Amino acid sequence: MTKRDTPDMAGQAAPLMQDVTQAMSGFLREFRGFQDVVKVKFKQTEERMTMLDRKTNRAGRPQLAAATSAEAPHQKAFCGYIRTGDETALRSLLPESKALSTTVNSDGGYLVDPQTCETVKSVLQSTASIRAVATVVSVEATSYDVLIDHGDTGAGWATETDPTVESGTPVIDRVTIPLHELSALPKASQRLLDDSAFDIEGWLAGRIADKFSRAEAAAFLNGDGIDKPTGILTHPVVENGAWSWGSLGYIASGEDGGIGDGDAIIDLVYALGAQYRANASFVMNSKTAGLVRKLKDADGRFLWSDGLAAGEPARLLGYPVLIAEDMPDAGTDSLSLAFGDFASGYTIAERPDLRVLRDPFSAKPHVLFYATKRIGGDVSDFAAIKFLKFGLS
């Protein structure tokens, strides 16, 4: 640097210092303004807190009338707050807060608003049904026909020169399954529907569907076919050695009202045709299952085995077990255990939709809910299902 350069640098530094001075002055002005705003805010907050303290510590006014109101002051204050949003009356009760209690209405119980569950917890009912293993078809008619070829065509050996003899033809039967109507007609008041804490209509629909499923499950086993499906147990049952089409065969357990040592179950399995055993399953109720699962083979191994994975059914002799509570309990000559290919043996025909008609006019001020479902069922193959009879023969 030379002496000639010094005046130029001094001239450039002067404007820079002037800019810095102006910036600092502007920053100080803005900071002082921010301080003033904060002071005002603090002052306003302090005044508001003072006013709230005065309202809180204000004593309640004396009664103008000689007789006191029958309505509790807590309830009156709470109602006033709900209607107008004014919380002054509620705050006036705070000095007595040490004596408040939710267990006594007059001491504060009115201030506790009850809460209602959004759903109704219903008693669980068993809905296991042979629907799980039967054939289910959807129809748009009043009945469903199943064509069954239970005969066999004739055949024979022929020589080169002998004339061919006419052979027999298969026999085709038709099983007609009419559809029956399952209905329910509960009612509820319109005020209840408007003011309830949960969805009454949805709850009723769920309860109706649950009841329908239990009613049809019972009919699939015990229905007499009059305005309801024809159940498996209502068909004629004969000893398996004398079985013929139109009836169901059974194997006797060899013990009156009991199941014996379990050999009869093995006989039951092999009484069913080989063409059905691949898709066969056992059906029984819980009490019968309690007897069966105690059975052991000659080596002490249980014949019953539980499912290895979640949702997998238990197995008896390797075949799945369906627990249907509508099956009869074990007793003298009871048909408490069924085995067969139910997909071939029983057909369920239904309109799949559950219709609910809301009628607010016929029973005013109540609302009627008319629910209907059309369904039918019957045995479609009498050779596909066998029973174990708890009897001597």
Number of structural domains, the chain? 1
Q: Is residue 145 part of a domain?
A: yes
Q: Is residue 85 part of a domain?
A: no
Q: What is the mean pLDDT of each run of 10 residues along the chain (393 residues)?
A: 52 72 80 81 82 62 48 66 65 53 50 46 60 90 83 68 70 85 83 70 78 90 92 94 92 89 91 93 93 86 80 87 92 93 93 80 83 91 94 87
Q: Is residue 126 part of a domain?
A: no
The enclosing domain of 291 has a CATH number of 3.30.2400.10
Per-residue pLDDT, 18: 78
Q: Is residue 37 part of a domain?
A: no
Per-residue pLDDT, 180: 92
Helix (H) or strand (E) segment spanning residue 252: strand 248-252
The order of strands in the sheet holding 315-316 is 237-239, 248-252, 385-390, 334-340, 281-284, 319-323, 315-316, 304-305
Q: For residue 253, what are the domain limits?
A: 136-154+168-390
Q: Is residue 92 part of a domain?
A: no
Q: Is residue 48 part of a domain?
A: no
The SS3 of residue 107 is: helix
Give the tokens for residue 326. 């509508």
Q: Is residue 6 part of a domain?
A: no
Per-residue pLDDT, 323: 92
Q: Is residue 293 part of a domain?
A: yes
Per-residue pLDDT, 296: 85
Q: What share of the chain is helix, strand, coil (3-state, %, to 5)?
A: 35, 20, 40
Per-residue pLDDT, 1: 47
